[in-house]
Amino acid sequence: MRMGEPEIGLRAGVAEDWDAIADLMGYVFHETWSGEVRATEGSVFEPERALVAEDGKLMVGHAAAYTRELTVPGAIVPAAHVTLVGVAPTHRRRGLLRRMMERQLADIAAAAREPVASLWASETKIYPRFGYGMAALRLVVEVMTREVTLTAPAGEGTLRLVEPAEAIAEFARIYERLRPAKVGWSSRDERWWTFVLDDPESVRHGATALHGVIHDTKNGPTGYALWRVKEGWNQHGPDSTTQIREVAAADPQAYAALWRFLLSIDLTRSANARYLAQDEPLLHMVDEPRRLGARIGDGLWIRIIDLPAALTARRYRTDVDVVIEVTDPILSRNTGRWRLTGGPEAATCVATTEPADLACTVLELGAAYLGGTPLGSLAAAGRVRELTPGALDAASTAFGWHRMPHPTESF
């Protein structure tokens, strides 16, 4: 705040704020939201979880959260899905973002419903300041489809084209069947499925409407995919691109059938997908993996809200009994020594005065929480300190999981 300026007020949101929020997000993210987009985004807006900053009658800052669940190793937990965070370009460098983020964390903690918060970072240097750790990387592929062949044998299932909005019930049944084991997936009730599949023309950027395909077997559907195609032609002929939104499969046969279909659509010469797991099976099912054009980007960021509840809620790959000394400069109740005892079936985390085996901040525990960022890697970066010889290896193994987290949708 500049000398002589009144402090900007923070208040809880109300439903009538939505248009002003949409206008502010347009300034912050350099977008113009059409009426369709405003309606789509507004359909999942929770005004009671919005935090509004006002300079007089002008909205100059906003942060919100969605009430959803998140799959973590061995469990599903309530998680605040933080979103729509921004400050007007006229009000930067006044500490407003910090006030909003710290107030939001305090509100989530006070409600005592969600042990963790998650978000997608617009700029990755921002959110570590508030204790968010980079917990799930994502794989992005840009495939030269004519140069890649799937080596997996064809299964006995069949594929069926569907209109996405008319197939919500089928998609949801497959998704719910898979969700308990898919670390990084978020819950989707009917409202969220409608949001995910809503397809305003203004966001297609010249591509087709969203398409859907379901993999059927004699025992029922076992997978689905969502995609669209961006038309293209050059001097050699057709050069269209398949834009893959989501692939969900219950077994290798459905997975291979869906990818074989997506990579061989007529008149296309390339395909891209932006929300895949770091250990995506596709990497091991093609004859030319280099032609997948794979690269890694950041995905989900996790913030521990209630440390003992969060560490108790998830499961661990191997047995672990470790005392961790944790520092949390924002939520002070997380600061202290905590004894974590757990394994594949259960876990407990309680305050203790015993000597610490490891020391870190709450950020590192958030980064390791989904099993995708090894504590050993964080220690090699100087972010985790081993105080008892051997404790790091044991804890790093226990915090891992048999599959990498899969951040399948941004929010």
For residue 138, give the 3-state DSSP assignment: strand
- The answer to whether the beta carbons of residues 149 and 287 sit under 8 Å apart is yes
Selected catalytic residue, list 175, 195, 369, 411:
411
Selected catalytic residue, list 127, 130, 132, 224:
127
Residue 74 has which token pair?
A: 């061995």
227-to-14, 271, 283 alpha-carbon distances in Å: 35, 10, 19
Pairing status of strand 336-342 against strand 347-351:
antiparallel
DSSP 334-376: G-EEEEEEE-SS-EEEEE--SPPSEEEEHHHHHHHTTSSS-HH
Q: Please confirm, yes or no, whether 127 is among the known catalytic residues.
A: yes
- Specify burial of residue 190 (Cβ count, 10 A radius: 0-12, 13-18, 19+): exposed
123-to-57, 128, 299, 317, 404 alpha-carbon distances in Å: 28, 10, 12, 32, 23
Catalytic residues: 127, 411
